[in-house]
Chain A
Amino acid sequence: GAVVSQHPSRVICKSGTSVKIECRSLDFQATTMFWYRQFPKQSLMLMATSNEGSKATYEQGVEKDKFLINHASLTLSTLTVTSAHPEDSSFYICSAPPGRLAESQETQYFGPGTRLLVL
Chain B
Amino acid sequence: AQKVTQAQTEISVVEKEDVTLDCVYETRDTTYYLFWYKQPPSGELVFLIRRNSFDEQNEISGRYSWNFQKSTSSFNFTITASQVVDSAVYFCALSVYTGNQFYFGTGTSLTVIP
List chain A positions with a Cβ less than 8 A from chain B: 32, 34, 36, 38, 41-46, 49, 91, 93, 95, 97, 101, 105-108, 110, 112-113, 115
Decide: B47 and A49 in contact? CB cutoff 8 A.
Answer: no
CB atoms of A105 and B50 under 8 A apart: yes
Query: Could you tell me the distance in whole angstroms from the C-beta of B84 to the nearest C-beta in chain A?
Result: 21
**Besides A93-B45, A108-B102, A115-B43, 5 new A-B residue pairs in contact (Cβ under 8 A), listed by A number:** A34-B102, A38-B43, A97-B98, A112-B43, A113-B44
A112 and B33 CA atoms in complex are apart in Å by 22
Residue of B nearest to A101 (CB): B98
* A32 B99 Cβ-Cβ under 8 A: yes
Q: Give complex CA distance A5, B105 in Å.
A: 24
Query: Are the C-beta atoms of A44 and B91 separated by less than 8 Å?
Result: yes
A113 contacts which chain B residues (CB < 8 A)?
43-45
A107 to B44, CA, bound (A): 16
Q: For B104, what are the chain A residues with a Cβ–Cβ distance below 8 Å?
A: 43-45
A115 to B44, CA, bound (A): 11
Task: Decide if A106 touches B50 in the complex (CB within 8 Å).
Answer: yes
Known: A106-B50, A110-B45, A112-B44. A97 touches B91 (CB 8 A): no
In the assembled complex, which residues on chain A have CB atoms less than 8 Å from the CB atom of B37? 110
Contact of B99 among A46, A97, A115 (CB under 8 A): A97
Nearest-Cβ distance from residue A98 to partner chain B, whole angstroms: 9
In angstroms, Cα B69 to Cα A9, docked, is 38
Q: With a 10 A CB-CB cut-off, give which of B37, B45, B106 has the most chain A CB atoms.
A: B45
